[in-house]
Amino acid sequence: MTVERPASYIGGEPNSVLKEDGSFDVRMAMCFPDTYEIGMSWNGLSILYNILNKTKHTYMERVFAPKKDMQAAMKERGLPLYTLETKTPVRDADIVGFTLQYEMSYTNILSMLDLAGIPLTTAERTENDPLIIAGGPCAFNAEPLADFFDAVLVGDGEELLPEFCRVYAECKNIGLSKHDSLLRLQKLQGVYVPSFYEPVYDNDGRYVRMEKKEPSAPDRVVRAFLSDLNSVDYPECTINPLTEVVQERAVCELFRGCTRGCRFCQAGMIYRPVRERSKEKNYHYAVQQLKNSGYGELSLLSLSTSDYSQFQPLMTDIIGYCKDKKISVSLPSLRLDNFSFKILDEIQGMRKTGLTFAPEAGTQRLRDVINKNITESDILGAVDKAIELGWNSVKLYFMIGLPTETDEDLEGIADIARKIMDLARAKNNGMRGRFSVSVSVANFVPKPFTPFQWIPQNTPEEFARKHDLLRNKIRSIKGVTLHYHESFVSTLEAVLARGGRDLCAVIKRAWELGCSFDSWTEHFKEDAWRTALKECGVGQDHYTLTGLPVGAPLPWEIIDSGVSEEFLIREYNKSLKEQTTPDCRHNCNGCGIDRYTECRSKGILK
């Protein structure tokens, strides 16, 4: 039997780590619940791999979800899921960790546990099984997966995960049981042990409260905060894949967090406060990664790259290094109202990688509702300057189904695309074909810990109607292409994002019905998911269409993200009044984050 991309399963890549002498206390299998090509593009893996493998107590090895052909081959030969570095069976690790980057990867977690020969639920496992943990952005509501994890790590992992592994090594060395080990581990800020709590539901299946089964468990689990990015190592030498991956480039994270306050954006809330890495360190890490990898492209990563306080001087230094070596620079997440055209002009002579902007909504009214704080003049002015500098394509990101959205707001998306093409035609003396616009439309999914966490979601039918409306408006504009997501996938994402523990049974049943790789269009099984929801007595409308009463108990309230509910309610009410909130670098908006950590955005970013 042959499999696609066999190099994904052999390991041995340059710069991977081998601790062959066994001089460590804990072996951790870090699992990314998707393919090698996607997982190796996750920057968090490089960060944690670098930090943990520099400790004496832990050896972190990588594991990715085998594709379906490889899974079949492994089962046929009785080969269990193994780590890439040493080919150790995952079931023989001390800790098996999963990153929860997106909801549609959940069934892959069960596939990987099953392939590893590890019982799926905590209730089924014994002392001989590894400790199964999770982290990542979706860990802020891990209730739909609570039955499958012994512990969930919430927040920044650079300090929390090494300390978690160190404490577990101590527990292992003195022979503590899993339960007693978890009693110690839960004392670390950011560690949530689901089995120490039990949710209570009313007769209608709505969440009422969380009751503690373990008296020593915290009333709420406060997320882990990394106060200073300069205080932790960042990778200078990353693993070079032996096969093609999604992102083949060096990556430097300039800063973490965002002060803009977009009301739909979970990342902008849960990664607060803004923490910058120094210009000197960012330049050092970028150069070292390029030298050690041989990549021909550098990506500067953050939620809003051009908001970095030392953006221009850093870019001047980086371009000075990259230009002579013909290394291109990618600048994702640029703000239209804070765009450095001097930097763009310097990149002009290098290999260009395209421009991406995110207006998010088609009209000013709706941009005010979501607190995007950019105008149509900002959008057209930035694109106009980019065309003048020689760029010939732009990608625009929008969302549909946003709160209070009307058909006029949707038509505004097509209007913006048309105005951009008119600009291009005017700049190019009527030769419109030289310029193209790609409009990418995502379906709005309400997420926990955002001001829109209570909002009802559009039905799949309403999303489809809006897709048709947009397609009809855009098809007549030459040079503009439209891309959009499947409707029921977005519905399911909302269910999993805002769900409670009743969804554990749904996820397990969907997996039993053959669901896996649900984020891949060719593998998604809508009928199987609908069957699983029906068999488990969970109505999708319960989590999507009815919305949630503002201030009502929420399944994820056991977690304290740092941002107060009072702030989220204020922002929700302001959205309904179409009122904006200024960037918190210029005015503290009282989000509550300074209860736990210094809000470095105050007075630091100029």
The model's pLDDT over 324-362, given as tens digits with 9 standing for 90+, comes to 888 888 877 666 554 566 676 676 565 555 677 889 999
More confident residue, 484 or 585: 484
For the chain, what is the mean pLDDT?
91
Q: Give the residue among 225, 220, 219 at the shortest CA–CA distance from 273.
A: 225
Output the pLDDT for position 90. 98
Question: Which pLDDT tens digit goes with each residue over 34-82?
Answer: 999 999 999 999 999 999 999 999 999 999 999 999 999 999 999 999 9
Question: Which pLDDT tens digit goes with each residue over 273-296?
Answer: 999 999 999 999 999 999 999 899
Split at pLDDT 50, 70, 90, the class of 538 is: confident
Compute the distance between CA of residue 273 and CA of residue 562 in angstroms, rounded to an integer: 9
The sheet that has 355-360: what strands, in order across it?
Answer: 355-360, 393-400, 436-443, 480-484
Split at pLDDT 50, 70, 90, the class of 606 is: very low
User: What mean pLDDT is predicted for residues 545-562?
Assistant: 87
Q: Tell whether the model's pLDDT for residue 432 goes beyond 70.
A: no
Output the pLDDT for position 272. 93
**Percent of the chain whose predicted confidence (pLDDT) is above 70:** 93
Q: Tell whether the model's pLDDT for residue 430 goes beyond 60.
A: no
Q: Are 122 and 149 in contact (CB under 8 A)?
A: yes
Compute the distance between CA of residue 16 and CA of residue 237 in angstroms, rounded to an integer: 9
Output the pLDDT for position 546. 65
Output the pLDDT for position 336. 55
CA angle 264, 265, 269 (to 5 degrees): 120
Three-state secondary structure call for residue 463: helix
Q: Give the residue among 359, 348, 361, 441 at the shortest CA–CA distance from 392.
A: 348
Neighbours of 104 (CB within 10 A): 20
- For tokens 């920044």, name the residue: 156
Compute the distance between CA of residue 169 and CA of residue 23 in angstroms, rounded to an integer: 13
- Beta-bridged to residue 152, according to DSSP, are 134, 192
Cβ neighbours for 405, distance < 8 A, ≥ 6 positions apart: 361, 366
Delineate the domains of the chain, giving CATH numbers in brackets. Answer: 6-222 (3.40.50.280), 249-348+562-606 (3.30.750.210)
Output the pLDDT for position 578. 97
Q: Tell whether the model's pLDDT for residue 323 goes beyond 90.
A: no
Cα maximum dimension of the chain? 77
Compute the distance between CA of residue 505 and CA of residue 509 in angstroms, rounded to an integer: 6
Split at pLDDT 50, 70, 90, the class of 271 is: very high
Output the pLDDT for position 605. 40
CA separation, residue 431 to residues 345, 438, 459 (Å)? 22, 18, 41
Neighbours of 71 (CB within 10 A): 18
User: What mean pLDDT is predicted for residues 548-564?
Assistant: 92
Phi/psi at 253 (5° precision): -85, 110
Question: 267: which 2 tokens?
Answer: 């990342």
- For the question of whether the overall pTM of this predicted structure is more than 0.75, the answer is yes
More confident residue, 313 or 119: 119
Split at pLDDT 50, 70, 90, the class of 604 is: very low
Question: Which pLDDT tens digit goes with each residue over 360-411?
Answer: 999 999 999 999 998 999 889 888 888 887 778 888 999 999 999 999 999 9
Split at pLDDT 50, 70, 90, the class of 603 is: very low
